[in-house]
Amino acid sequence: MAEGAAPQARRRILAGEAGLRLGAAVLALAGIGVSTYIALAEAGGGAPVCLAGGHGCTTVAQSEYSHLAGINVAVIGIAGYAGLLAAAAVPGDAGRFAGLLLAIAGFGFSAYLTYLELFVIDAICQWCVASAVIMALLLIVNGTRAWRYAGAELASASPR
């Protein structure tokens, strides 16, 4: 590699990955917002307000599936999104793979909850759908980040 090429390659890697990290951070913050709204609405004994009308949010919030081991699933969501936000802040492979693993787990949990809404509870909460969409987008962003940039620092290092 020509002299000076390694630092240029490293700058290109960091610049390309920066957009994905920023996107992941924005999505994680949106997820924290949605999950916090759901948790606060349910903490007062109510349910999130369905923006398009209907009673799906109330039905879901009052179902036995709104808690896991006594913990509101929205609170679990807040923790998951906070972990994804932290992973977006960590540069390098540690942040890439932490983000990917958390996104896979979050997507799986969201898919399970969506299954319950559709086939067990027989009601749809719009806020839960929003959270599931955000988690799916986080999986795409973190998957792209991990796939495209894994080991990139090693590849751009100059030979000794």
Q: Is residue 53 part of a domain?
A: yes
- Residue at 65: amino acid letter: Y
Q: Is residue 138 part of a domain?
A: yes
Q: Is residue 80 part of a domain?
A: yes
> What are the pLDDT digits (tens) for 56-67?
999 999 999 999
Q: How confident is the model at residue 16 (pLDDT cuts 50, 70, 90)?
A: confident
Mean pLDDT of 73-95: 97
Q: How confident is the model at residue 46 (pLDDT cuts 50, 70, 90)?
A: confident
Burial letters for 46-85: b for 16+ Cβ neighbours within 10 Å, e otherwise? Answer: ebbebeeeeebbbbbbbbeebeeeeebbbbbbbebbbbbb
| CATH label of the domain that carries residue 114 | 1.20.1440.130
The pair of three-digit structure tokens given for residue 78, joined into one six-digit string:
């807040």
More confident residue, 83 or 4: 83
Cβ–Cβ < 8 Å for 78, 33:
no
> What is the extent of the structural domain holding 81?
26-154
- Tell me the whole-structure pTM to 2 decimals: 0.87
Q: Is residue 4 part of a domain?
A: no
Q: What's the number of domains the chain is made of?
A: 1
